[in-house]
Amino acid sequence: MIRDITLGQYIPGRSLIHRMDPRVKIALTFVFIVFLFIASNFEGLLMMVALMFLILFLSGVPLSQYFRSLKAILFIVLFTGVLNLFYGGGRVVWRCPFFPAMQITDGGIGNAVFISIRIVSLILFSSVLTFTTSPTELTDALERLMKPLKVFHVKVHEIAMMMTIALRFVPTLLEETDKIMSAQKARGADLESGGVMQRIRALVPILIPLFVSSFRRAYDLAMAMECRCYHGGEGRTKMKQLHMTGLDAAAVACTAVFCGAVIFCAAYFPASLR
């Protein structure tokens, strides 16, 4: 349910991937995505897919979970796949009898398969990150990864704090929305019938009280934070320290090998996209 959003898509576990430093996980996910686009032929892509299956296996998350996250993007994969069928060079395989301009070539089929694999891998790689890392770990890691941006006066601590608070208040505000909806229904508000415009208009009496109470909560929270000596990121410590271990070094080494292989493939085999 949406109520469990605090945990996001996180699936608790103790696998090798779960135990990795979240900073390394974020960085490596980024690298994977970049290399998915560097791989320009099926040989290189095969390397990335092999790496992906290795990671999926190590994550200990049931495959059914991954399928579920793919279902959400099925439409996009089909759409780009079908579209790519018609854009490609090479031998014509099929020509539309009504519009001769619409034709499927063997190059187009290759492109469609290639791009579909690319998108699916992209989603699976990022799913591994969100499935094995809790939102608090993610915000924590992001705060530390973004620290160098302080040079450019980016308020890194404040952004991370806002993310933490936002995550914390999502379930609270959902509960509140439920309550307000019930209260308005009890007064005869009709939220379920009518056209789109009418339904949007029906949301106003829910959004306004929600807004007002959010501000009241914000005021209370700010006071509670001050009572607990909050004074910005200056001089703040963290209870949970992030540590990189041998596990993270191994993961980086493993990634380097596969990425090296992708570069090798890109150099020695012809590009598959036509």
Partner 1 sequence: MDYITADKVTFAYEADENEERLEVLHGVSLGVRKGEFVALLGHNGSGKSTLAKHFNAMLLPSGGKVYVDGLDTMDEALKIEIRRRVGLVLQNPDNQLVASIVEEDVAFGPENLGIAPPEIRKRVDAALKAVEMYDYRLNAPYKLSGGQKQRIAIAGIIAMEPDCIVLDEPTAMLDPRGRDEVLRTIHKLNRENGITIVLITHYMDEAVGADRVVVMDDGRVLTQGTPREVFSRVRLLKDHQLDVPQATELVWRLRGEGYDLPECALDIDECVAALEPLLNS
Whose Cβ is closer to partner 1: residue 175's or residue 190's? Answer: 175
Q: What is the nearest approach in angstroms of partner 1 to the Cβ of residue 191? A: 24
* DSSP-based three-state secondary structure for 1: coil
24 burial level (CB within 10 Å; 0-12, 13-18, 19+) = buried
Whose Cβ is closer to partner 1: residue 166's or residue 273's? Answer: 166
* DSSP-based three-state secondary structure for 104: strand
Among residues 97, 100, 188, 235, the one that binds partner 1 under rule CB under 8 A: 235
In the chain, how many H helices and how many E strands? 10, 2
Q: Which 152-181 positions form the footprint of partner 1 (CB under 8 A)?
A: 164-165, 167-168, 171-172, 175
Verify binding: residue 22, partner 1, rule CB under 8 A.
no
C-alpha closest to that of 137 among 7, 257, 229: 7
Place of tokens 């990634």: 255
Among residues 223, 256, 257, 271, the one that binds partner 1 under rule CB under 8 A: 223
Verify binding: residue 210, partner 1, rule CB under 8 A.
no
DSSP letter for each residue of 217-263 = HHHHHHHHHHHTT---STT---SS-----HHHHHHHHHHHHHHHHHH
Q: What is the nearest approach in angstroms of partner 1 to the Cβ of residue 170? A: 9
- Quick check: 48 and 98 in contact, CB under 8 A? no
Among residues 49, 136, 180, 248, the one that binds partner 1 under rule CB under 8 A: 136
Among residues 16, 217, 252, 254, the one that binds partner 1 under rule CB under 8 A: 217
> Site map for partner 1, 80-119, x if CB under 8 A?
----------------------------------------
181 burial level (CB within 10 Å; 0-12, 13-18, 19+) = middle
Verify binding: residue 239, partner 1, rule CB under 8 A.
yes
How many chain residues are in contact with partner 1, going by CB under 8 A?
31
Contacts of 46 (CB under 8 A, 6+ apart): none
Q: What is the nearest approach in angstroms of partner 1 to the Cβ of residue 39? A: 37
Contacts of 18 (CB under 8 A, 6+ apart): 12, 59, 60, 132, 133
Among residues 7, 109, 123, 189, the one that binds partner 1 under rule CB under 8 A: 7
Whose Cβ is closer to partner 1: residue 187's or residue 238's? Answer: 238
Q: Which strand (E) or helix (H) includes residue 60?
A: none
Verify binding: residue 237, partner 1, rule CB under 8 A.
yes
Residue 272 tokens read as 């598959």
Verify binding: residue 242, partner 1, rule CB under 8 A.
no
Verify binding: residue 230, partner 1, rule CB under 8 A.
yes
- List residues near partner 1 by CB under 8 A: 6-7, 135-136, 164-165, 167-168, 171-172, 175, 216-217, 220-221, 223-231, 235-241
